[in-house]
Every structure is written in C-alpha cells, then in structure tokens.
Chain A
C-alpha cells in the first residue's frame, strides 16, 4: 500500500469510527447516568431498538403528511418512547423495588416486541423496505483533503462528542443534581438523611438515561440509514452495558470505550474487503470480542456504585 492509499484508508477509518461510536456514546452515557443512581437498566437494548423504530416511524409518517421538520419530529418521538420505557423501568425497580436484572430484560423484550409489532401496524408488509431521506452530513471543512472527510459527520455526532460528553461530565460532577444522583447510587440512606428525594432522583436519572439511549437508537434509523430493520441495534445496547463497566461509570472513559469499539468495528469492515479467506461473520464478531477482552482486563477491579442493584426502602 503506498502512502496516499494508506492516508485515504486511515481517514476513512477515523471517519467511520466516529460514526459507529455515536450511538454507543449516547447509549453508554445514558447508562452511566442511570447506573450512577444505582440502577442497572438492562432495558437499554430494547430502548435503543424502540428509539430507532419510533424515530423512523414518526419521521416517515410526518414526511408523508408533508411536514418539513419530519426528522426532528422523529427524534422527538424517539425521546418520548425512551422516556416512557424509562418511566416503566422506574415503576418496576424504584417504586416497586423489583429485581433490576429481570425488570431490565423484560423492558428489552417488551420494547423490541412493541417495535416489531408497531412496524407491521404502521407500514404493513410491503415488499419494499420503507425508507426516509435521513439527516445529511455536515461538511464542516468542505472537500479539504483529510480534514474534510473526517469532519463530514452528522449533527448528532457533533452533539454527542462536543455537547453531550462535557455536559454529562458537568452534570455528574459539578451540579447539585449530579451530587445527589451519585449519592443516591452510593448510599441512598445517607442521601435521604441529608434531605435528598431518593425516588425522584432515581426517576430523573432513568428518564435522562432512557432519552439518551433512544436517541442513540434513532441515530441509526434516521441519520445513518434512513430505514429500520430488525437487525438495526444488533447488540449495541449490550455493548454499552459492557462499556459502562469498562469506563468505571465515567462519561469520558465511556466515550473512549465507544471510540475503541467504533475503531475495531470500522476496521473489521475494511478488513472484510481486503479479501481474507475467512467467513465475514468472523470479522463481524471482532468488535464484540474486543469488548469482552477489554472488560476482562479492566472490569476485574471495578468499583461498582455502592447501592448498585439495590432498591431503596426507608424502613
């Protein structure tokens, strides 16, 4: 490979990495915020799936109705769907104090089922896969070599890296709400005794987290693909669960993890085209393998939030 080819390869790889990482940044930061409050939301896979569906369905129907900002409506629809699922998770785990593993998996099954059912209801069984014109990419550096293609990204990618990550850090570490949220996840008894409303804080964490997860899912359907298919999330929610542990519940490290996963994913796509004599599934499995490896290496001395998985009752 000569130099110009290599640069092209590298530039493509970086651009793809950021794109692939985007839904993971939304999902894993949503999960970080939720888990920091002491709740493991295993509903993430389903909420991302529902977000992808709701975003796409609202966008497609709004387009049909001739509404200009149909993609933004779709995004709003995704957020609403994520918030509703988060509220349901809150009802089960915060109000009723049920097991978080079972509740989360239940939410995932429910959300996926609802999405697939909703898809048939809304779009019927057409032979042509419905699609919408998705968000377009921003040419921040125009067609400049190197910088041009790297920064040719979706607005949602910019928002993820430049707005969401610092905002999540500030929220967690520099606001009264973040302090209350972390305390509720570490020692709800102490937070309660200090006058913090434990239940409200946990619901808020779930809702913020759920909204972010849904946006992560919607990014795939209304930005990257412009379509919805049953394989759209493909375990990205579970990857986020792993990334959060890998990141030791820190939004910045979670973003780094998302980028790492994105890089491996983008790399394997390119390796597939290089003509190795291997089934393509091997390459597809690569990012997930790396996730497991990273988790095995870093997750061993993970310091879980003190009240992780524990419902709170006053007596």
Chain B
C-alpha cells in the first residue's frame, strides 16, 4: 500500500563514544503532523539520536531520510536546510544580543542587516505561530520560559517542518508547560511534526500521538499513545516493573527543631537580591522539600547553608548553635552534612575515590604528620562495600558514572550520621536505579532522626519524599504546606508566584 513518506526516518543508527555505544541500530520514524515522544531514562540515548538528526553528532552507521529522500546531515546547517529544527536542553541562544538577532543568526539573506525590517519579520512570525515574544528584548533579560519560546520561533522561522524538543518542560513550571502543550497542539494541527524528548510519563500521555521508547541505547519499541498507559511505558523504559520508594511510616516521628532559618537574605553572583528574608525550620526525623522552578534562589540558599555564600541578613542555627556565615568546616562541626547541587564541584576529579572519601576529614587520617594511606584505603573499602559503589578505591573519581559519584558523596556525608542534612538536586541526571537508591538512603536518614532539607526541581521527588513542602519563588518562600495538602496544581501555582 503506498503511503505518504515519513517526515523523518532514521534507519539502523549506531553511535559510539569511545567504548560506549550510545545508540545501537536504532530505527525511528516520524509521521507528518504528529507529536511523537522519544521516551527513555537518562542515558538511554534519546538526546544522542536527536543530535544526530540535527547534525550536531555524526552517526557511525545508519541512514537518515527526510520526506522519503536520503539526507546527508553533517551539521545543523544541513539539518535546517532539510527543515529540521531543534530546541536543545541547554538553550542555544546568545544572551547579550536581542531576540531578533538570535532568530536571524545564521539565517540572513543579505550582508547588510536592516534591523527594523528584521524586527518586523520576527514580530510577524510570532503572531503567525501564536507564540508571544518581544523582538527587541535582550535575551539575557528573558525568563527561561520566554527563552524557550524564542528557540521555538527560531526553528519555525527557518521553515522547520520537523521540530525536536529536548526535555522542554524540565525548566518550566506546570502552567508554563501547559501553555507550551497548547502551542504544540496548534502547530501540529497546522502540519508541523514534533519530536518530544522526555522521561516524564504523564506529559507523554498528555501530548503525544505515538511513543518511541529507547532503553540503553536500543529501540525498545514504538506504540500508539492511545493504546498504552503509564505503567506499560515505564516497563518498556526500564525493562522491568518499577518500584518507587515509599515512606514506611507516613507521619514519621518528628522531634525538635534541628535547623532554623530566620529572615535569611543573600545576593547572587551578579550582586542582585537572590533571597529575601527566608524563614523556616526543619525538625528531626523530617524531610522538608523545597520546591521551585530553577533559578529562584535554590542554589543560593543551598550555598548559604553550606557556608559557601555569605548571607546579607538573618540568622541560621543548627542544633541550637548559630552558624550564620560560618565556614564549611564550622558548619560540618555542628553536625550538618552537605550534599551539594553540582556533584562535580564537590569532588576533586583527578583524585581517587579513596582520597575524595577522606577529603573532608583529612585530620582523622594523619599519622605522625603524614597521611596514613592504609587507613584511607581501608576507610574507602568499607564505604564502597556499605554503599554498593561500583568502583575501586584507587579509581580516579572522574571515571565514575554520575550515580556512583553521587554514592561516594552520599557515603562521605552519611557515614558521620549528621543530624542535619542539606541536600540539593540529589538525583539530577541519575538513572532510575541510582535515583531509587539515593532516595531510599534519604528516607533511612529520616528514619534515623536526621533533619533533612531537600532542595529539588523534581516535583515528583519532592512529593515522594517530603513531610512538608516549602515553595520558593523569586527568593521568597511562598508557603509551607504539609505533604498531605500539597498537590501538583497547588504547588505549580505557588511555583509561579500565585498565592493559594
């Protein structure tokens, strides 16, 4: 039966990075006018496959067909010429220049640019596609959601027939995501084909027509969204039934206040106000989740509590002792454990696993003024065993996977039984197995009686683990809710600065 050619078809795509095979003989086909999800865990090869389609990587094997014709896509320029556009996860925008300049960059027909005409063309495109942007604004002054809209317009402006979106909702509040979905549906109905990379099942169910699942770089299957459900998709994704972690006792046994913030204020790296009089407390045996859209002061708050950023006002105390503007060492001495946001910054990449494990308490590994290598090694072996870390003590830590690196940091902190734990984005970029492990460990600590501040942009994580949930918006705490009263919609509104 003759059928309309696919908008895009990729056949037998294989891509290797050194010894790792990111894609193995993957087939992928996108129909015209459909939204298709590319679903998979972190590291399943979704982004790699799409970067190949957009010409950012070159496949080692396999062919790409656009509209039924074999296409040789060696760079984004070729992809654009074939009508393929991509909105990458880290936006490919130039911050100090205007929206218009970003949109016409690399897509100008004349040497001399008529800026007024360009602004008008961009404004016209914004109207035509129903996506609001301000042509003359500087990109650096735009919010994340606005930047994403610029990226989408940029692709459409280049006459994209196929639009690839790489985890577009990761940086959006739920309401912004809904808006994005509305736009995508409209664009689909006008003939655009969309590839939607995601690992969020509910989004995939809500917006797509078909779903292609990748697992460990291989095709796990393609299904019609209408004929599947979240549980089946999850099974395809991980290749087994999933088992989320659950809190063993819902209420827990909360005791005294262990961490108290009183009107903490701080500036960000550009010396702008990042935190405005933040107050809350965390009790022993409690996980307080701090939810919020990325960039609303979470990083700065974590840094203040870790002792790496000065506060400009207010007080912090842990276990009854004031630690306002104390250094990391003093903070640790009061029984505070810190699991920072960027795990690569909390280890020394070139040093070994054993050295990194000893690093925060080196004085305990000193014998006669010299480091006691045997003790450092024995210490590492104990932790590797206890935390099931897939590494040897003498491996350089940069060679570890994200999950194992996080386990090293976790081990280093938790072995000291801290009474307060500040943990930021603990599962970002980890696969399902490692994520479950980390969450399980946090729940164990709660059971033990630690007071845990969990700063996370992953709402599912917050909802799964927290006893109470605080929402931060533009450096202010919007509200603190008991977990039982928090649902996605209410949190979403708070995350957008709407008091409810």
Contacts and interface: CB of A to CB of B under 8 A. Distances in A.
A236 to B, nearest CB: 29
Nearest to A174: B113
Nearest to B103: A194
Contact of A175 (B54, B97, B111): B111
Interface in A261-315: 303, 306, 314-315
A174 B115 CA distance: 8
Interface string A152-195: 00000000000000000000001111011011001101111111
Given A174-B113, A314-B56, A194 B95 contact: no
B110 interface: yes
| A-B interface, 6 closest residue pairs, ranked by CB to CB distance from nearest | A176-B108, A193-B92, A195-B77, A194-B106, A190-B92, A195-B106
A175 to B, nearest CB: 5
Interface of A is mostly: helix
Contact of B93 (A174, A176, A190, A197): A190
A252 interface: no
A182 B56 contact: no
Contacts of B108: 176, 179
The listed residue with most B CB atoms (<10 A of its CB), out of A187, A189, A192, A193, is: A193
Contact of A182 (B90, B92, B94): B94
Contacts of B90: 189
B300 interface: no
Contact of B111 (A176, A182, A190, A315): A176
B57 interface: yes
Interface string B80-114: 10000010101111111100011011111011110
B39 to A, nearest CB: 23
Nearest to B101: A179
Interface in B106-130: 106-108, 110-113, 115
A187 B112 CA distance: 22
Given A179-B104, A186-B97, A197 B77 contact: yes
B105 A180 contact: yes
Nearest to A303: B96
Contacts of B88: 193
B154 A179 contact: no
Interface residues of B, number: 32
A196 interface: yes
B161 to A, nearest CB: 16
Contacts of B312: none
A205 B186 CA distance: 42
Interface in B50-87: 54, 56-57, 75-77, 80, 86
A193 B97 contact: no
A117 B429 CA distance: 58
A195 B112 contact: no
The listed residue with most A CB atoms (<10 A of its CB), out of B93, B105, B112, is: B105
Nearest to A185: B94
Contacts of B113: 174-176, 179
Given A183-B97, A183-B105, A187-B93, 19 more contacts: A175-B112, A176-B108, A176-B110, A177-B111, A179-B105, A182-B94, A186-B95, A189-B90, A190-B93, A190-B102, A190-B105, A192-B56, A193-B92, A194-B154, A195-B76, A195-B80, A303-B96, A306-B95, A314-B57
26 contacts: A174-B112, A176-B104, A176-B110, A176-B113, A179-B101, A179-B105, A179-B108, A182-B97, A183-B94, A183-B106, A186-B96, A186-B97, A189-B90, A190-B91, A192-B56, A192-B76, A192-B92, A194-B76, A194-B102, A195-B76, A195-B80, A195-B107, A196-B106, A197-B77, A306-B95, A314-B56
A314 B55 CA distance: 10
Contacts of A196: 77, 105-106
Interface string B233-269: 0000000000000000000000000000000000000
A32 B196 CA distance: 41
Contacts of A174: 112-113, 115
A191 B96 CA distance: 13
Contacts of A176: 104, 108, 110-111, 113
A143 to B, nearest CB: 41
The listed residue with most A CB atoms (<10 A of its CB), out of B88, B93, B154, is: B93
Contact of A179 (B17, B80, B92, B97): B97
A275 B230 CA distance: 91
B49 to A, nearest CB: 15
Contacts of A191: 94, 105-106
A270 B257 CA distance: 75
Interface in B378-422: none
Given A175-B111, A179-B108, A195-B107, A187 B92 contact: yes
A231 B222 CA distance: 73
A99 B76 CA distance: 27
Contacts of A197: 77
Contacts of A194: 76, 92, 102, 105-107, 154
Nearest to A187: B94
A257 B7 CA distance: 55
A35 B158 CA distance: 29
Interface in A172-230: 174-177, 179-180, 182-183, 186-187, 189-197
A121 B471 CA distance: 76
Contacts of B158: 195
A176 B101 CA distance: 9
Contacts of A189: 90, 92
Contacts of A186: 94-97
B76 A187 contact: no
A293 B107 CA distance: 42
Contacts of A314: 56-57
Nearest to A197: B77
A160 to B, nearest CB: 22
A192 B104 CA distance: 13
B95 A193 contact: no
B107 to A, nearest CB: 7
Contacts of A303: 96
The listed residue with most B CB atoms (<10 A of its CB), out of A176, A189, A306, A315, is: A176
Contact of A180 (B17, B54, B80, B106): B106
Contacts of A177: 111
A183 B94 CA distance: 6
A186 B94 CA distance: 6
Interface in B167-185: none
A177 B113 CA distance: 9
A276 to B, nearest CB: 45
A114 to B, nearest CB: 35
Interface in B125-172: 154, 158
Nearest to A192: B76
Given A174-B115, A179-B105, A193 B94 contact: no
A250 to B, nearest CB: 12
